[in-house]
Homo-oligomer: A and B are copies of this chain.
Amino acid sequence: MPSYKAPVTDQMFVLHDVLKIAEQDVPGYDELDRETTEAILDEAAKVAQDVLAPLNSIGDTEGCVLENGVVRTPTGFKAAFDQMREGGWTALDCDPEYGGQGLPYVLATAVGEQFSAANMAFNMYPGLTHGAYSAIHTHGSDAQKETYLPKMVTCEWTGTMNLTEPHCGTDLGLMRTKAVPQDDGSYKVTGQKIFISAGDHDMSDNVIHLVLAKIPGGPDGIKGVSLFIVPKFIVNDDGSVGERNAVSVGKIEEKMGIHGNSTCVMNYDEATGYLLGQEHKGMRAMFTMMNEARIGVGLQGYAQADVAFQNALEYAKDRLQGRDVTGVKNPEGPADPLIVHPDIRRNLMDQKSFVEGARAFAFWGASLIDRAHKLEDDAADGLISLMTPVIKGFLTDKGFEMATNAQQVYGGHGYIEEWGMSQFARDARIAMIYEGANGVQALDLVGRKLGQDGGKHVMAFFEMVKTFIAENKGQDADFDAQFIEPLKNASKDLQAAGMYFMQNGMKNPNNALSGSYDFMHLFGHVCLGLMWSKMALAAKARLEAGGGDDDFYQTKIATGRYYMARQLPMTATHLSRIQSGAEPVMALEAANF
């Protein structure tokens, strides 16, 4: 039976020693002194460890069941959701005007990581609700906000996002669901949506579906798409839950993983809907949800890697198998623990250095979102917009890879469901697909984000790395060799890749797009290299200051050194691939594959 321990110490290190949130000028950050932050993270840890984690494999085994049109969630989910609600965990960073606690997003991210690691399928119910909350909060009328937000902040009502149809996922312009205007200002929504996470369940009094649909007579394609609020139960004027709307569950999908989440086919049959935001501007409103959701999915990626890593580490310490070739380590036992073997360590270090680097990257991203929202900081907004596809794509690809590597430590036991390692890999797999498959993230990065606002955001990123290097080099020969040099090389590779796109993408955009996936990973490595350099500096500072947990800081530096030496060299391969251009990729006629 796998277990989970929330990484509060490491989260505290990232928030306070690396990002130094308490010293930042972001409104709300001043409340997050070390004591407050730690108290919140410790309380969250209790929920994650004691309430959510024990339900993870139950959710996987039982799954969700559709009976007489009603979805039944796995044993214990409803009680856990009640506990989560009562603890106020669903309201953490929501607007106090609607009952939220108004805490910074960066803190909600740290808590979200814990909940997601403990039980990814479960945490999608509040997660999607939060996305729908954000869309209504940003684009809704005052009346809509008052009607829906207070109940969604508490998750008494949960939310969904409805984009995909059987014949269209990425290309939403092909959408067929239609919304016909009614005399009272509402719409009748008709169509079928698929892959609707948390589409229906037995844990809330209402489900608020946000549905993309076309108003007949509007523009063709993606420009004719609008967003609608379609509640499962119509809300009465007094705010109470009224009659059943014409939306029903067609079926629950059988999936590779996240069985605890009900992934539904939703049928809308002249269901009553209310326009959210402007007509035909549905994609803009939906993107409010999607950007947030994408960062949340990046979080899921490394969170699954973390819980898988934690269990693999314990197994590697416990399981006795073979002897250390450099000398017996456990002379009293029949064999040495797995962790003495270099290749097991290589695997564990890959996982550890990824997870901790990813955590810093995600929290940094979340802090940029706080800056962008609370300070209306355009530079932060541009930077996080640029990096959202990297956070989503890179952290979920690597997260799955690392969960798979953790499974490998168990040998045959990793393949047997009862040990739980298969579930981590199976659950992590979806994160590479939903909220825009990772190939679409790469396309977004290279095709849209790189050139956005004249390319100034990527230039700002390069400038930031350059400044960091200039400010920190030449003070410590070890640090220079172990961190500054590899970071500089990796960053050069990234710049060379960008240069290649500029020089060759104009004459043939496929020269850029053929390298988009590699560019996303190359960018991810540079970001993690930067994070590791910052973490190593912060750890050095704490070591020099003394009085802390020296083992923790030394381990941090050693783990960073590993990432720089063993992971960062990937940038050279990514660059080589990118520079080979479109020709080898596009050479074949489709018929000749």
Docked CA distance A346–B515 (Å): 8
Interface string of A335-353 (1 = CB under 8 A from B): 1010111111111110010
Chain B CB within 10 Å — which of A334, A430, A551, A573 has the most? Answer: A573
Number of interface residues of A (CB under 8 A): 95
Give per-residue flags for A301-325: 1 if the beta carbon is below 8 A from chain B beta carbons, else 0: 0000000000001000100111001
Report whether A577 and B585 are in contact in the complex, using a CB–CB cutoff of 8 Å: no
Q: Does A143 contact B (CB under 8 A)?
A: no
Chain A, 549-593, contact with B by CB distance < 8 Å: what is the 0/1 string?
Answer: 001101100110110011001101100110010101111101011
Contact with B along A407-430 (1 / 0, CB 8 A): 110011011111000100110011
Q: Report whether B580 and A566 are in contact in the complex, using a CB–CB cutoff of 8 Å.
A: yes
| B565→A584 contact, CB < 8 A | yes
A415 touches B430 (CB 8 A): yes
Chain B residues lying within 8 Å of A417, measured Cβ to Cβ, are 254-256
Main secondary structure of the interface of A (DSSP, over half): helix
A559 to B583 Cα, complex, angstroms: 11
Bound complex: CA A516 to CA B255 (Å): 36
Q: Is the CB of A576 within 8 A of B584?
A: no
Q: Is A576 touching B580 in the complex (CB atoms < 8 A)? A: no
Min CB gap A510→B, angstroms: 5
| A566/B582 in contact, CB under 8 A | no
- Docked Cα-Cα span, A381 to B184, in Å, equals 83
> Can you list, as one digit per residue, whether each of A115-159 has a CB less than 8 Å from chain B (1) or not (0)?
000000000000000000000000000000000000000000000
Cα A273 to Cα B551 in complex, Å, equals 54
Q: Are B342 and A510 in contact (CB under 8 A)?
A: yes
Structural contact, A588 and B343, CB atoms closer than 8 A? no
Given known contacts A174-B321, A342-B514, what 16 new A-B pairs fall within 8 Å (CB)? A174-B334, A195-B412, A255-B417, A340-B590, A342-B582, A342-B585, A343-B514, A412-B433, A415-B429, A415-B433, A554-B592, A558-B587, A561-B587, A562-B584, A566-B577, A569-B573
Q: List 18 A-B contacts (CB under 8 A).
A: A171-B335, A256-B425, A326-B509, A341-B443, A341-B513, A342-B585, A342-B586, A343-B513, A343-B516, A345-B586, A412-B433, A412-B434, A415-B430, A415-B434, A425-B429, A551-B592, A566-B584, A573-B573
